[in-house]
Amino acid sequence: MDSGLDLYEVDLHCHTTESDGSLSPTELVQLAAKLGLKGIGITDHDTIQGWEEAEDAGKTYQIRILKGLELNTNWGGKEVHILGYEVDSSATFLTDKLEDLRKAREKRMVEILDRFKEMGINISVGEVQQFAHGESIGRPHIAQALLERGYIKNIQEGFDRYIGKGGPAYVPRYNLTPEEGIHLIREAHGVAVLAHPGVQRLEEGIPTWVKAGLQGIEVLHSQHSTDDELRYLELAQEYHLIPTGGSDFHGEVCKPGVNLGGWGVSLVVFQQILDLAQHSKLW
């Protein structure tokens, strides 16, 4: 859905250079302040490394920070992304699992590059790593290396032609289930939210994930249509889930036209998530 010119108070789905975004945590907070946002959610893939920098910048620029991460899981061949807000960063079982996931990402990258070699495209690990400024490496970094070499004209073409599902260089990801992702977040006293369900049409899985402990659903998202928004708002109400929202901001290189604050929610929702996380930590 076109976000138009209006900005929301908070954007709860943002990526930084700690995973596959183009802005550092500080730069992201600076942009949020420039736009007049009141808060943002930091939700990098499989890492919490950007939290401290974002919080320090948040104090400087008076932007509230909701600390999060995004877990990529698999359900019947479909990608299911689970956002985890305000998890306990001192939980060793969580940090150990995130390390495992990052190692699996690195292994997958090598396998993808091997596929490219078979096609006569020689991209080195070092070329990919120069685009991964944080500890979480992913396919967007491979696409950036392809772009740099002139094999593609934009990041999306890299996914469409080579590394997207069904592409000649596609390699399946580490197989974490949505239930495992939800349990991991809940055990770490975080709030588990289903990200952009309209992208993969995930309605059928929602009742099962609610039983597993799902607490929210991303209703407003840059890839959701108006019909999607209505559908998932109704499901949020039916299952008593917090309806959240965010742009899935990565920066203009990775996601052209997806503007920070163009999709999001009110500060009331931000506080709802924070309160739920704080209540969980009391038990």
Contacts of residue 91, defined as CB under 8 A and 6 or more positions apart, other chains included, come to 187, 188, 189
- Which range marks the domain in which residue 72 is found? 1-283
Number of domains present in the structure of the chain: 1
Residue 55: burial class (beta carbons within 10 Å; 0-12, 13-18, 19+):
middle
- Contact predicate 249/42, CB 8 Å: no
d(CA 86, CA 66): 7
CATH of the domain at 248: 3.20.20.140
In our burial notation (b when 16+ CB lie closer than 10 A, e otherwise), range 207-216 reads eebbebebbb
Type of residue found at 86: E
Q: Which helix (H) or strand (E) holds 170?
A: none
- Nearest-Å Rg of the Cα atoms of the chain is 18
pTM: 0.87
pLDDT, tens digit only, all 283 positions of the chain: 444 447 899 999 999 999 889 999 999 999 999 999 999 999 999 999 999 999 999 999 999 999 999 999 999 989 899 999 999 999 999 999 999 988 888 888 899 999 999 999 999 988 888 887 777 778 888 988 898 899 999 988 998 999 998 999 998 877 799 999 999 999 999 999 999 999 999 999 999 999 999 999 999 999 999 999 999 999 999 999 999 999 999 998 888 899 999 999 999 999 999 999 998 876 6
**Residue 170: Cβ within 10 Å count:** 16
Contacts of residue 5, defined as CB under 8 A and 6 or more positions apart, other chains included, come to none
